[in-house]
């Protein structure tokens, strides 16, 4: 955290769906190298915020700055190229492709071979293809699903699919990895091993933004946490402070005492 | 390695068989069947082109024959006396460009038409895309049918005739040629020409399939939103798929015009688009071998029917009860229904689908 400029700075993001205001006036910043948690009750707007910063939705108000550049109304692939990678709450793998191919597609944005490269198979294309495969295998190994590399994504177990999504996102060489409920549907052991994996991601120079319902996971993993409720940010800070915040307790846990 | 040697031998055997095929067919079945084999080859090229759009990128295209038409008319206009009718001052003898100049132009023109179709349909998927592409195919055909006035560009429903035959190294393919003392009739010569192009198309398809671009197309087919979130420029990739597919269609169209010597809008009806799509689906979407098999079967089946149904009925009932054309449709429909029920992934499913079907019995050993 020597670089004090935040990696991602959201300023007054708003998102309307018809009359419904899914996000209003959300401002936050994420520092380089931290694990930043985003929590909130169901329907609080966490995934909407994700979709805004990954370009799937265009914000109705406000904008954001990523790695020193302003982005407004950008397509998802532009933001992926800029260095924001994501996973999806409801897994969206390329189901009929193998695990390895899924990760290889993640390398697309950092590689360049075009149609002529494909047709001529020149030296540059072959060595790039080789590098893509090597890197993808390395990532599969990193997330711990090296063995089923040739299995179709849809035949992987649920936990493996979640990990494959992470590997695929990492393959885009992101600066910011945005994980939408990576532990959803996992049992305690799986969550624990996922946590161990996530903890090593900042060592690769990647900042993590994490949406999670599992409060224990968030509290144990995140450097800082923001809490959304009804599309507004109601608290932000280190996990210990946030969990004592009366507004959070009221919104998230529903009643007075913890 | 042993595997390599074995596949090398298989390849050599395949090449020799294919090279002898016109002579064998000619001797056993007659010259007409060599011509049918030539058409089968054209259909295979078309089906492989459509396979890029439908099989790889997952964009359902029901107007694919339009690109075939564009390519065919490209050569028909620039390789026949026809333009003398429209522009007698500029081209008193028509235009007679070499086939080898027109071929890339036809491919490029068809490719631009592919982009033209792709651009407005980028947001559409599935049924909606199918309907727009169907409309596009019909628009092209109707244009060809009606562009004989005010200036006679396409000669309308009568079509364009007297198209120059393809010449290879100044040897016309439309006449019997003696090479090394062996007589090669025209259909044989075209067979070899088409065989060479089919081989080229197969190689191009294979290389595209196993490339960064091919993977990106398949990612779009599987999940467009996830693909764009992974940094794929889905718009450009889809346009590229349309353009590449259309280029294959355009090139085979030019070949068709040179082979046939005559083109008319009738050859580019919706039924033809559906035929080509059936070849892709029946054979196995996304799998080159499957698509080739589909092309061969569907190109030959109607001819087999034509040659067997009428004599059979004559022998059985003494008259023709069902004409082969309607029987063909009946069999087609039945075949497709049976396929969808029992082999939904096609006769030869693609690598991935086969693995997917097989992996239930034999899971990856861990």
What pLDDT sits at residue A212? Answer: 86
| pLDDT tens digit sequence for A226-241 | 999 989 999 899 988 8
Interhelix angle B99-118/B65-78, nearest 10 degrees: 140
Give the range among B13-27, B190-204, B336-350 with minimum mean pLDDT.
B336-350
Q: What is the pLDDT of residue B215?
A: 94
Q: Give which of A96, A161, A172 to mutate to test B binding, by max B Cβ within 10 Å.
A: A96
Residue B217: closest C-alpha in chain A: A105
Instruction: List CB contacts (< 8 A) between B231 and chain A.
Output: 76-77, 80-81, 106, 108-109, 172
- Given B219, B244, B352, which is nearest A105 (Cβ)? B219
Given pLDDT bands bounded at 50, 70 and 90, which one contains residue B3?
low
Q: Is the pLDDT of residue B349 over 90?
A: no
Nearest chain A residue to B350, by CA: A96
- Among the residue ranges A125-129, B54-58, B144-148, B347-351, the one predicted with the least confidence is B347-351
CB contact under 8 A, A96 and B231: no
Which structural domains are found in chain B, ordered by start? Answer: 29-357 (1.10.3470)
Write down the pLDDT at residue B48: 95
Weakest-pLDDT range from A63-77, A88-102, B340-354: B340-354
Tokens 């809008």 map to which residue?
A: B265
For residue A140, the model assigns a pLDDT of: 95
pLDDT band at B276 (very low <50, low <70, confident <90, very high): very high
Q: Does the beta carbon of B364 lie under 8 angstroms from any beta carbon of chain A?
A: yes
pLDDT, residue B328, reads 79
Can you say how many angstroms the Cα of residue B61 is from the centroid of all Cα atoms in its chain?
Answer: 13
Q: Please judge whether A93 and B213 are an interchain contact, meaning their C-beta atoms are less than 8 angstroms apart.
A: no
List the single range of A13-22, A102-111, B270-279, B297-306 with lowest mean pLDDT.
Answer: B297-306
CATH topology of domain A1-83+176-258: Rossmann fold (3.40.50)
Nearest chain B residue (CA) to A114 = B213
Lowest-pLDDT range of A55-59, A140-144, B270-274, B313-317? B313-317
Distance from C-alpha of A55 to C-alpha of A64, rounded to nearest angstrom: 11
* Nearest residue to A96 (alpha-carbon basis) of B351, B51, B281, B234: B351
Question: Which residue, B164, B167, B136, B2, is CA-closest to B59?
Answer: B136
Give the pLDDT confidence score for residue B37 in this predicted structure: 92
Residues of chain B in contact with residue A109, where contact means CB-CB under 8 angstroms, are 230-232
Can you tell me the mean pLDDT for B132-152? 90
Which of A75, A77, A126 should we substitute to test contact with B (largest number of B Cβ atoms within 10 Å)?
A77
Inter-chain contact B223–A94, Cβ cutoff 8 Å? yes
| pLDDT computed for residue B359 by the predictor | 41
Cα(B58)–Cα(A75) distance, integer angstroms: 21
The minimal CB distance from B213 to the residues A118, A128, A132 is found for A118
- Hey, are the CB atoms on A105 and B227 less than 8 Å from each other? yes
Of A55, A39, A66, nearest in space to A207 by CA: A66
In the prediction, which pLDDT does B365 show? 35
Hey, where are the domains in chain A? 1-83+176-258, 96-173
Residue A58, both tokens: 């265009």
Q: Is the pLDDT of residue B355 over 80?
A: no
pLDDT band at B106 (very low <50, low <70, confident <90, very high): very high
In chain B, which residue's Cα lies nearest the Cα of A91?
B226
pLDDT at A37: 93
Interface mutation target, options B56, B57, B213, B226, chain A, most CBs of A under 10 Å: B226
Looking at the complex, report in whole angstroms how far the Cα of residue B81 sits from the nearest Cα belonging to chain A: 36
pLDDT of residue A254: 64
Å from A94 to nearest chain B CA? Answer: 5
Indicate the residue of A55, A106, A119 with minimum beta-carbon distance to B207.
A119
SS (H, E, C) B197-248: HHHHHHHHHHHHHCCHHHHHHHHHHHCHHHHHHCCCCHHHHHHHHHHHHHHH
Res A172 pLDDT > 90: yes
Rounded to a whole number of angstroms, the distance from the CA of B221 to the nearest CA of chain A is: 8
Give one DSSP letter per residue of B275-310, joined into a string.
HHHHHHHHH-TT-HHHHHHHHHHHHHHHHHHHHHHH
pLDDT mean over B279-305 = 88
Tens of pLDDT, residue by residue over B58-83, are 999 999 999 999 999 999 999 888 88
Q: Does the pLDDT of residue A104 top 90, yes or no?
A: yes
- Report the alpha-carbon distance of residue B323 to residue B304 in Å, rounded: 13
Judged by CB atoms closer than 8 Å, whether chains meet at B213 and A115 is answered as: yes
> Which of B231, B234, B243, B284 is best to mutate for the A interface (most A CBs within 10 A)?
B231
Mean pLDDT of B181-191: 86
Alpha carbon of A29: minimum distance to chain B alpha carbons (Å): 22
Lowest mean pLDDT among A172-181, B84-93, B127-136, B203-212: B84-93
So what's the pLDDT on residue B360?
A: 39
Among chain B residues, CA nearest to A113 = B212
Percentage of residues of chain A with pLDDT beyond 90: 63
What is the least distance, in Å, from the CA of A59 to any CA of chain B?
17
Residues 6+ apart with CB under 8 A from B13: none
- Do the Cβ atoms of B229 and A106 come within 8 Å? no
Are B230 and A108 within 8 A, CB to CB? yes
Question: Mean pLDDT, to the nearest integer, of B235-263?
Answer: 94
pLDDT of amino acid B364: 37
Confidence of residue B192 (pLDDT cuts 50, 70, 90): very high
CB contact under 8 A, A152 and B356: yes
Please answer yes or no on whether B231 and A154 come within 8 Å at the CB atom.
Answer: no
Out of A77, A85, A96, name the one closest to residue B228 (CB): A77
The band of A3, judged by pLDDT with boundaries at 50, 70 and 90, is low
Backbone angles phi, psi at B278, to 5 degrees: -60, -40
Is residue B108 less than 8 Å (CB to CB) from chain A? no
* Average pLDDT, integer, range A115-138: 91
Q: B212 vs A117: CB contact, 8 Å cut-off?
A: yes
Q: Enumerate residues 146 to 205 of chain B having a beta carbon within 8 A of any beta carbon in chain A.
A: 204
Tokens of A6: 């935040």
At B252 the pLDDT is 95
Q: Which residues of A touch B111 (CB under 8 A)?
A: none
Residue-wise pLDDT tens digits, B206-224: 999 999 999 999 999 999 9
With an 8 Å Cβ cutoff, are B211 and A125 in contact? yes
pLDDT of residue B124: 84
Q: Which residue of A has its CA nearest to B219?
A: A94
CA distances from B181 to A18, A34, B190 (A): 80, 80, 18
Q: Is B227 on the interface with A (CB under 8 A)?
A: yes
Residues of B in contact with A155 (CB under 8 A): 356, 359, 363
pLDDT of residue B291: 92
Chain A, chain B: beta-carbon pairs less than 8 Å apart: 123
| CB < 8 Å to B208, chain A | 115, 118-119
Alpha-carbon distances, residue B55 vs A159, B158, B194, B231, B293 (angstroms): 30, 35, 23, 22, 15
Angle between helix B126-146 and helix B270-283 axes, rounded to 10 deg? 140
Q: Give per-residue pLDDT as tens, B313-337.
A: 888 887 777 777 778 788 888 888 8
Question: What confidence score (pLDDT) does residue A257 get?
Answer: 47
Range ranked top by mean pLDDT from A166-170, B167-171, B293-297: A166-170
Q: Are B103 and B251 a contacting pair, CB within 8 Å?
A: yes
């Amino acid at each position: 955290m020597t670089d004090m400029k935040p990696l991602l700075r959201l300023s007054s993001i708003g998102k309307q769906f018809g009359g419904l205001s899914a996000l209003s006036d959300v401002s936050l910043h994420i520092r380089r190298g931290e694990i930043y948690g985003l929590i909130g009750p169901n329907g609080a707007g966490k995934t909407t915020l994700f979709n805004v910063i990954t370009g799937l939705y265009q914000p109705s108000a406000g904008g954001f700055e990523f790695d020193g550049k302003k982005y407004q109304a950008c397509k998802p692939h532009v933001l992926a190229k800029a260095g924001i990678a994501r996973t999806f709450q409801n897994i969206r793998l390329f189901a009929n492709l193998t695990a390895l191919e899924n990760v290889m597609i993640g390398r697309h944005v950092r590689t360049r071979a075009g149609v002529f490269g494909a047709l001529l198979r020149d030296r540059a294309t072959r060595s790039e293809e080789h590098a893509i495969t090597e890197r993808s295998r390395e990532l599969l190994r990193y997330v711990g699903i090296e063995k089923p590399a040739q299995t179709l994504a849809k035949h992987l177990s649920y936990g493996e699919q979640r990990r494959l999504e992470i590997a695929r996102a990492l393959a885009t060489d992101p600066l910011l990895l945005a994980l939408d409920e990576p532990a959803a549907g996992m049992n305690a052991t799986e969550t624990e091993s996922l946590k161990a994996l996530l903890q090593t991601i900042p060592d690769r120079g990647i900042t993590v933004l994490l949406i999670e319902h599992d409060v224990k996971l968030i509290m144990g993993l995140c450097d800082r946490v923001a809490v959304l409720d009804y599309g507004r940010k109601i608290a932000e800070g280190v996990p210990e402070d946030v969990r004592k915040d009366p507004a959070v307790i009221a919104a998230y846990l529903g009643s007075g005492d913890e | 390695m042993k595997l390599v040697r074995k596949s090398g031998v298989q390849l050599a055997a395949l090449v020799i068989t294919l090279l002898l095929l016109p002579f064998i067919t000619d001797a056993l079945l007659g010259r007409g069947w060599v011509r049918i084999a030539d058409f089968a080859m054209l259909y295979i090229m078309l089906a492989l082109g459509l396979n890029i759009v439908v099989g790889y990128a997952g964009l359902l295209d029901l107007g694919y024959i339009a690109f075939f038409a564009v390519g065919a008319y490209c050569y028909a206009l620039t390789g026949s006396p026809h333009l003398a009718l429209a522009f007698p001052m500029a081209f008193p003898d028509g235009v007679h460009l070499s086939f080898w100049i027109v071929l890339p132009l036809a491919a490029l023109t068809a490719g631009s038409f592919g982009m033209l179709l792709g651009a407005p349909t980028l947001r559409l998927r599935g049924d909606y895309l199918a309907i727009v592409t169907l409309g596009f195919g019909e628009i092209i055909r109707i244009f060809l049918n009606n562009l004989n006035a005010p200036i006679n560009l396409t000669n309308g429903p009568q079509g364009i005739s007297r198209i120059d035959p393809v010449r290879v190294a100044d040897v016309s393919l439309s006449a019997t040629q003696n090479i090394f003392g062996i007589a090669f009739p025209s259909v044989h010569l075209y067979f070899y020409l088409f065989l060479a192009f089919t081989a080229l198309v197969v190689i191009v398809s294979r290389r595209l399939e196993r490339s960064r671009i091919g993977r990106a197309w398949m990612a779009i087919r599987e999940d467009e939103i996830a693909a764009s979130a992974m940094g794929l420029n889905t718009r450009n990739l889809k346009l590229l798929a349309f353009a590449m597919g259309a280029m294959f269609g355009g090139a085979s169209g030019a070949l068709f015009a040179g082979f046939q010597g005559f083109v008319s809008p009738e050859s580019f009806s919706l039924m033809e688009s559906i035929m080509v799509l059936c070849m892709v689906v029946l054979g196995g979407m996304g799998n080159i071998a499957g698509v080739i098999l589909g092309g061969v079967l569907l190109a030959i089946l109607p001819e087999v029917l034509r040659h067997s149904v009428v004599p059979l009925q004559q022998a059985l009932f003494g008259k023709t009860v069902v004409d082969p054309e309607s029987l063909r449709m009946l069999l087609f429909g039945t075949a497709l229904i049976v396929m969808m029920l029992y082999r939904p992934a096609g006769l030869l499913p693609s690598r991935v689908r086969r693995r997917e079907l097989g992996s239930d019995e034999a899971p990856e050993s861990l």
